[in-house]
Amino acid sequence: MDPLTHLEYALFQLTPTRTRCDLLLCYGSKKEKLASGLVEPFISHLKYFKDQISKGGLVVMLILYVGKMSRRLGELCNNQVVK
Tell me if 27 sits within 8 A of 6, measured CB to CB: yes
pTM: 0.66
- pLDDT value of position 37: 93
- pLDDT value of position 41: 85
For the cut 60, the answer to whether the pLDDT of residue 57 exceeds it is: yes
What residue spans define the domains of the chain? Answer: 9-77
Contacts for 12 with CB less than 8 Å, ≥ 6 apart: 21, 22, 23, 24, 42, 49, 59, 60, 61, 62
- pLDDT value of position 48: 80
Phi, psi of 42 (to 5 degrees): -70, -40
pLDDT in tens, 4-48: 777 888 888 999 988 899 999 888 888 999 899 998 887 787 888
State the number of CA atoms in the 13 A half-sphere of 61 facing the CB. 21
